[in-house]
Structure 1
């Protein structure tokens, strides 16, 4: 089936409008994601702009060429503002709308308005710049691992190149007569490519928001609500992954806050919760980079250290214990915080089992409590995988 230019124009309008509606429907289900609303409005504006451009020759050129392109450039600016919002930045609406304003002011200059190459060069420069800015913002947010981030960067960059390459082509190639622009064989190709990019970019932007929502849900399911540390399930999973690797030794530090029940009984659960949060923050500050710290439940915490033998792990545990012992609260001068620590570690080259390592650390922790609390006890290493 042969698609003529009017049919492709109509398809562009319909597809862009549907994409905008889908963005707004997604936003209605997740009002926290303002980027979805901005992208929805951007595509609806783009659909209106496409409709005006389709009617060239039927409506006055001031509406088709002037207003249509101004709205299209504003739509690209809004897409960039939506990307900024997605990346946690403030949407730059004034800059986003400035592209359309610059176009409108340029069209008031007779020499510019009469020059098709000049119009193509300016519109392509502005639209390509917004695509480039969008690609840059998505790239800058790559610290957040989202699978669709790189496809989005590649698509935005490709769209940038397609727009910017039109600038030298428009300036150095002989343009068709203004009356025959609609008859150009390249126009259907550009329309079709534009529709493909619209759908592809909408898909990856939708995918980015979905992946972020799923990642936040996963992190929430793996995070202790009070302290912000890994909960027991997440901690066990991360430790088992380290143990399965073998090679370097893995140490497990098991912490238990001393006399924590009396803290709750004497000062109340609010103060008790504060003590738990304070310990979590203090331990994170003292522990070396790469340590996995989690809350096992109640007043019990655990830490995994990779590439750390038993003696080194015991020294690190002692630093945490000593730091906790120095904590004092001006509002509660009689409140003292202490911690007992049990330490266990695998031998180099052994892929230990979490339950075995946990059993050793728990036994060492029990020994620390029985010896008077407020101390570190290291368990004797066990050779894993050897039958008795």
Structure 2
């Protein structure tokens, strides 16, 4: 199969421009995702650079070679920057511009400008370097990222290996001949691979950004915005999953139902800001005072719940008392303290049904309130 080089060149420019425009549109729609903006810059700079390089032979050879390749190297640098932004690292502008500046400086060397082989070699090596750096940005934080990065890593590494391999196979003489119309193999395969790589990496980056956004929206939907712990929906789902595991492993579990005492009076006397501060402080106290396998959440206005897997009634009472004591020591403002009443129920009494555990713990909580508040009561069936 013979590929028409000018057609492939124009198709490459068209596809880079189209993908860059689509990425720019996605960035403007998302507003907060800078990765898409950087990727748009990468693709559009690559399209412009390819267009300028294509002007070679129209009487502007020196400008075409110098400016076009500087734009292409800048595109590679911005692509590296896009991945740094995605993983939460600061932009390194000197590194982004280094390839383009190096090309510009080499352009002052007459021998460099007269040697096609040397120019192509330097350009390809810079592309391989930036591509490898881009892959490294993902690889170094692979355990912290919540999205699938394998497709992006595979594309980047294949792109780097392809460019390096093509350079090794073609060598100097073949590269020289391609501009004379005797051997278009290097340029043809490079354009074709660039075309396929641009399409693939653009869609993979879009998929990664979308996946992360969906995960963050889902996490936000299951988190109480004030206390930053799970809301009722998150608590219910996680608690039921832990209970199912306790059933499978034959282990007990216990539930604590906590209610801040005199919360309405606190709001009325000191304002809602103080009430909110009390909720935030208790939510933090609860989250820090439980084990990693425990589940806690704010399930009502001033009501919190905590499920303790693999804990019997005695352990639950100890945990509840520790939470009650820590709450009594909270000082929101000078002479403004809060207390909590806690009801405890265990699977020994209620079985492994979450709604029944909550109902029995609520009865125990009622006894704690009736008994004077600032106390822990266990359900006594």
Conserved 8 A contact 2:226-2:276: yes
Gaps of 5+ in 2: none
The TM-score normalised by the length of structure 2 is 0.90
Q: How far 1:167 moved relative to its partner?
A: 5.1
In structure 2, distance between residues paired with 1:238 and 1:264: 31
For 1:304, what is the secondary structure of its paired residue? strand
The 5-angstrom pairing of residues 24-39 of structure 1 reads 24-39=24-39
- Please name the residue that 1:242 is paired with: 242
Q: CA deviation at 1:113?
A: 3.2
Q: Please say which of residues 6-15 and 158-167 is displaced more in the overlay.
A: 158-167
Q: Distance in 2 between the 1:214 and 1:158 partners? A: 28
Q: Distance in 2 between matches of 1:307 and 1:160?
A: 51
Match of 1:338 in 2: 339
Q: Following the alignment from structure 1 to structure 2, what is the Cα–Cα distance between the partners of residues 224 and 277?
A: 10
Closer, same or farther: CA 117–217 of 1 in aligned 2, 3 Å = same
State whether structure 2 residue 159 is matched by structure 1 residue 159.
yes
**Aligned equivalents of 2:306 and 2:317: distance in 1?**
12
Q: 1:34 to 1:175 in 2, by over 3 A?
A: closer
Q: Which residue pairs with 1:386 in the alignment?
A: none
Tell whether the 8 Å contact from 1:244 to 1:351 is kept in structure 2 after alignment. no
Q: 1:306 to 1:58 in 2, by over 3 A?
A: farther
TM-superposed deviation, 1:259: 1.4
C-alpha change, 1:212 and 1:24, in structure 2 (3 Å) is: same
Listed one character per residue, the Cα deviations across residues 31-74 of structure 1 (whole Å, up to 9, x for unaligned) are 11122222112211100111123333335332333222211110
Q: Is the 8 A contact 1:287 1:320 kept in 2?
A: no
Matches within 5 A, 1:1-388: 3-142=3-142, 143-147=144-148, 149-166=149-166, 168-169=168-169, 175-177=175-177, 179-180=179-180, 183-245=183-245, 246=247, 247=249, 248-329=251-332, 331-333=333-335, 335-346=336-347, 352-379=352-379
Q: Give 1:159 shift.
A: 1.9
1:124/1:166 contact within 8 Å kept: no
Give the deviation of 1:357 after TM superposition: 1.8
> For residues 112 and 44 of structure 2, what CA distance do their matches in structure 1 show?
28
Greater Cα shift, 56-65 or 290-299:
56-65
SS at match of 1:223: coil
2:267–2:274 Cα contact (<8 Å) kept: yes
Alignment length (residue pairs): 376
Whole-angstrom CA distance in 1 between matches of 2:68 and 2:180: 19
How far apart are residue 254 of structure 1 and its match?
1.3
Structure 1, 253-262 or 90-99: larger mean CA deviation: 90-99
TM-aligned CA deviation for residue 260 of structure 1: 1.1
Structure 1: 5+ residue stretches without partners: 382-388
Shift of 1:144: 3.3
Distance 1:256 1:44, change over 3 A: same
Q: Distance in 2 between matches of 1:230 and 1:195?
A: 46
SS of equivalent to 1:302: strand
Write the deviation string for residues 79-101 of structure 1: whole angstroms up to 9, x where unpaired.
Answer: 11122222222222332111111
How well do the aligned residues superpose, as a CA RMSD in angstroms?
2.4
Is the partner of 2:330 in helix, strand or coil? coil
| 8 Å CA contact 1:16, 1:47 repeated in 2 | yes
Structure 1 pair 192/345, CA: closer, same or farther in 2 (3 Å)?
A: farther
Q: Given the superposition, is the C-alpha separation of residues 295 and 116 from structure 1 closer, same or farther in structure 2, using an over 3 Å criterion?
A: same
Question: Comparing 261-270 with 157-166, which one deviates more in the overlay?
Answer: 157-166
Question: Using the alignment, how far apart are the partners of 2:344 and 2:140 within structure 1?
Answer: 40
**Does the C-alpha gap of structure 1 residues 185 and 309 become closer, same or farther in structure 2, counting only changes over 3 Å?**
same
The 3-state SS of whatever aligns with 1:356 is helix
CA contact (8 A) 1:368 1:377 kept: yes
